[in-house]
Amino acid sequence: MKQHGKTIVPRNALAVLARQRPAGAHGPSQKAKRQQARQALQKELKQFDADKDKGRNFPPFVFVCF
């Protein structure tokens, strides 16, 4: 306990526990997730356009069934 003047002041147990606990963000925000998804899509479209210019215009998700 710390002493404040002549009175003894008990420490706040919850504050001590909160300081000892690791703090910070739990994960990426929704905005960050949207931004990453948009960047991945733009990168994939850019790669698709580059492949199309080289004559390989079949995207990897097209399947032909006979």
* pLDDT tens digit sequence for 20-37: 877 777 888 999 999 999
pTM: 0.46
Q: Residue 31 has what pLDDT?
A: 95
Q: Residue 22 has what pLDDT?
A: 78
- Judged against a pLDDT cut of 80, whether residue 56 lies above it is answered with no
Q: Residue 1 has what pLDDT?
A: 58
Tell which wins on pLDDT, 19 or 44. Answer: 44
Calpha distance 13→23 (Å, rounded): 17
Calpha distance 65→6 (Å, rounded): 87
Tell which wins on pLDDT, 52 or 62. Answer: 52
Calpha distance 52→59 (Å, rounded): 9
In the chain, the amino acid numbered 36 is Q
